[in-house]
Amino acid sequence: EQRKGPGHTMFYDVACGDETGQITMSLKDTQIEGIAKDKIICVRNGSIKMVRGFMRLVVDKWGKLDRDVEGRVERIGERDLSSIEFEVYPS
């Protein structure tokens, strides 16, 4: 899914996961190169951002997105952490 962020930045929401579960990852237009369906990637030092009450995995300036990873994921876990809506209560 493609969406426009602040300024002229485009974001792409992609589903990713492993045996433990799945989450939606938000990638900037500069990060989408080399990402394809069923491609194995490794996210190092990623973080969670809340987008409209839902969790998104992001790779910011402190993180790394490694696209050249060997390996295989036998199955994707059923629990989708991005499908859970959270409400923020003022403190």
Tens-digit pLDDT profile for residues 4-56: 666 677 889 999 999 999 999 999 888 988 888 888 999 999 999 998 899 99
Q: Looking at residue 80, what is its pLDDT?
A: 94
pLDDT band for position 70 (cuts 50, 70, 90): confident
| Cβ atoms of residues 59 and 66 within 8 Å | no
Q: Looking at residue 74, what is its pLDDT?
A: 85
| Cβ atoms of residues 70 and 39 within 8 Å | no
Q: Looking at residue 69, what is its pLDDT?
A: 87
Q: CA–CA separation, 34 vs 87, rounded Å?
A: 34
Q: Is the pLDDT of residue 88 over 80?
A: no
